[in-house]
Amino acid sequence: MTERKPQQQPIPQRQIQIELPADLEAIYSNFALITHSPSEVIVDFARVLPNAPKAKVYARIILTPMNTKLLHQALGDNLKKFEEKYGEIRTADQGFPQHEERMGFVRD
């Protein structure tokens, strides 16, 4: 006699209404500090400016480890879609691509 395992029922999707306040301020970050404890993952979003000896933290997000893993998966999925549409994102260790046009404030 074979033992039957109970079938797992799919988790029902629940609708969540998200409120985006009109006065919500967007924060630019080009640096993140990540620390953790057994029960929390803390991500501090900071901004590093050229020729400045320190970075300022502008936002701190505290997540559970499980929500951090779900965010990691969601970011991975979105980066994959982004790269399929716009091409590979190269990091410093891969060598940044050369831009044909120079943009922003440039000192020669």
Say if pTM beats, i.e. exceeds, 0.75: no
Q: CA separation (Å) from 13 to 10, 16?
A: 9, 9
Q: What is the mean pLDDT of the chain?
A: 86
pLDDT surpassing 60 at residue 106: no
Q: CA-to-CA distance for 86 and 72, rounded, in angstroms? A: 21
45-61 pLDDT, tens digit each: 999 988 888 999 999 99
Segments making up each domain of the chain, as ranges: 31-90
Q: Is the dihedral of CA 36, 17, 25, 51 positive or negative?
A: positive
Q: Which of 35, 74, 43 is nearest to 59 (CA)?
A: 43
